[in-house]
Amino acid sequence: MDKRCIVFYDSGSGGLNLFERTRKVFPNENYIYFADEKNLPFGDKTEEELNVVFDRAIETINSFCPKLLVVACNTMSCCAENRLGELPYKVVGVYPFLPENEKTNKSSGSGRKKPKGLLLTTPATAKTDYIKRLVSGRSDVLLMPQKTLASDVERWRQGGKKPDISLNFRDLNFIPEFISLGCTHYVFLKNDIKKLFPKTKILSGEINAFKKILLFLTTFATDDRNGTVYCLKSQ
């Protein structure tokens, strides 16, 4: 069995959902969960600042000689998209995604399609080339950057007050058919969002990321020994 570790990287606790899901299926692997709390939040930083954070994180991650790096953060995955393939090991990022655009979507009186879905991201993610490509030509999608939601969720996860997600939709004037959660922190509020919009489909890029992790790790032989888990926080 290849005992090299698997590193999950995020600014805080946002990547835990994907980490726990992976560990449940592959309990014999060795894991390092790297919470870069020193640089939390990623979502309000400029591209230049994120590149500096990424470079410093990779120096640490490289020292572990992993067989797989999971960038369990939409912001960093989108910002460093073109750099992840340059690393000397397998990398899986988490990216926002949208359902296919249906041609039957009705138009408003001006001829412009009415939005029928929402894409929630951090401000930094919304500015990336990845998101610009994703929403290009998608007038059926309303891009909604959330200024403080990721930080609010992190504080809640650390013992603070749970954010009232209903406030983030108070100006919304339609019931969305889907809501895509473009931040791993937002997934912790999935049930709360579902209560607000019972008939709305809630999407997350974590599903696609997990499929890639599954495909990669099933190529390795396993044994019956329990793996290890090490949690690392930036200082």
* Predicted local distance difference test score (pLDDT) of residue 108: 47
* Predicted local distance difference test score (pLDDT) of residue 115: 86
* Predicted local distance difference test score (pLDDT) of residue 107: 46
CATH assignment, 6-95+207-233: 3.40.50.1860
* Predicted local distance difference test score (pLDDT) of residue 106: 46
Identify any residues that bridge with 141 across adjacent strands, giving them in sequence order: 117
* Predicted local distance difference test score (pLDDT) of residue 102: 59
Q: Is the pTM of this model over 0.85?
A: yes
* Predicted local distance difference test score (pLDDT) of residue 38: 95
**pLDDT tens figures, 145-161:** 999 999 999 999 999 99
**Which residues of 5-108 form beta strands (DSSP E)?**
6-10, 31-35, 68-71, 90-93
d(CA 50, CA 152): 20
* Predicted local distance difference test score (pLDDT) of residue 86: 95
d(CA 65, CA 114): 48
Phi-psi region of 39 (alpha: psi -120 to 50; beta: other; left: phi over 0): alpha
* Predicted local distance difference test score (pLDDT) of residue 2: 86
d(CA 146, CA 170): 13
Bond prior to 41 in cis (omega within 30° of 0): yes
* pLDDT under 50: residue ranges of the chain: 103-110
CATH 3.40.50.1860 domain locations along the chain: 6-95+207-233, 117-204
The alpha helices in 109-189, defined as continuous H runs, are 123-126, 129-135, 149-157
By C-alpha distance, which of 36, 38, 32, 44 is closest to 12? 36
Which fold does the domain 117-204 belong to in CATH?
Rossmann fold (3.40.50)
